[in-house]
Chains A and B, each alone.
Chain A
Amino acid sequence: MRYVAILAALSLLSVCISGCTGTSQPTTEEIKSSISTGLKNGTVVLFFRQDNCPECVKAEPKIADLKTEYSGKNVTFLTISVDQSSAKPIGQTYAVYSTPTTIVLYQNGTEAKKLLGDFEKDTLKTAIDSALNASVVKVTRTSTAKVTRTSTAKIQ
């Protein structure tokens, strides 16, 4: 009986180690995958933050506002907490040394804009719009090319 109780206690402990913190941290691969998925849909905004960073606290509501504002507009907002070990490689990839750092990515994954520190909402909005427009131009050109090729084929 005592043996069963010890086993039960040990199994509860192992569950707690993996899940009792209440937050599951995404792995590096999961973060990378979210970025890739976002880029397939359009523009990606990476918001790098960490706990106890006053500038991050100031910028967070602006990110939340813009996320709402751009909902359904092919913009993916990803918040990356660089104080988690799994997020550190992502920070290194984008050369992030301080927080908050906000990076707007073109659909091809290159940086359209990097904002260090807190920012004006309009500055980020302009950067997102510009990246979005670049994506739209790219899509339009592709569509035109396709139409032209189809038309030519039909004529022939």
Chain B
Amino acid sequence: MDVDEQAKKIKDWAKRYAEKKGIELNPDEERVDEVAKGLAVRQEKFGKRYCPCRIITGDAEEDRKIICPCVYNEEEVREHGMCHCKLFSAKKSTEGASSETET
């Protein structure tokens, strides 16, 4: 399966996941496509759907946390309206919501 085909499958899966969780995909479809492609590339390269915005450490247990949907996504959607990658968003999210976080 090539990357584009894989990305399409991932997008379909993400849609179903979002519905099940009562959230939605980012209304910015271009962004969703980019993230899906990033996930597909990582699936192809590492065999797992690792989040393209998180760093693979090489520690299998640690890296399991960043397989999409990552363990952080629910909290991020709840608190920031979107996950870090901006694949999932809260329902009725305002367009262009920023995930910028400062420490």
A positions within 8 Å CB-CB of B: 50-57, 82-83, 88, 91, 96-99, 113-120, 123
Q: Knowing A57-B34, A123-B100, say if A117 contacts B84 (CB, 8 Å).
A: yes
Are A99's CB and B53's CB within 8 A?
yes
CB atoms of A117 and B42 under 8 A apart: no
From A55, A91, A119, B55 is in contact (CB under 8 Å) with: A91
Tell whether B93 is near chain A: CB-to-CB under 8 Å. no
What is the size category of the interface that chain B forms with chain A?
20 to 34
Determine if A116 and B55 form an interchain contact, defined as CB atoms under 8 angstroms apart.
Answer: no
- From residue B71, how far is it (CB to closest CB) to chain A in Å? 12
> Which 7 A-B pairs rank lowest in CB-CB distance, beginning with the nearest?
A54-B34, A52-B38, A116-B101, A117-B99, A114-B103, A52-B52, A52-B41
Which A residues are in CB contact (< 8 Å) with B85? 54-55
* Residues of chain B having any CB pair with chain A under 8 Å: 31, 34-35, 37-38, 41-42, 51-57, 84-86, 98-103
Q: Which of A54, A91, A97, A113 contacts B86 (CB under 8 A)? A: A54
Q: Are B103 and A54 in contact (CB under 8 A)?
A: no
- Given A52-B38, A52-B42, are A99 and B100 neighbors across the interface (CB < 8 Å)? no
Contact A54 B101 (CB under 8 A): no
A116 nearest in chain B by CB position: B101
- Alpha-carbon gap, A117 to B41, bound state (A): 20
A56: B residues at CB distance < 8 A = 53
- Give, as a whole number of angstroms, the nearest-CB distance from A48 to chain B: 8
Complex Cα spacing A90 to B38, Å: 23
A97-B54 in contact (CB<8A): yes
Q: Which residue of B lies closest to A96 (CB)?
A: B55
A109 to B98, CA, bound (A): 28
- Cα A98 to Cα B42 with chains together (Å): 15
Interface CB pairs A-B, < 8 A, 5: A54-B52, A56-B53, A113-B103, A116-B103, A117-B101
Known: A54-B34, A117-B99. A99 touches B86 (CB 8 A): no
Per a CB cutoff under 8 Å, which of A52, A54, A117 touches B100?
A117
- Which residues on the A side are within 8 Å of B54 (C-beta)? 97-99
Q: Which residue of A has the minimal Cβ distance to B38?
A: A52
Q: B101 touches which one: A82, A96, A115 (CB < 8 A)?
A: A115
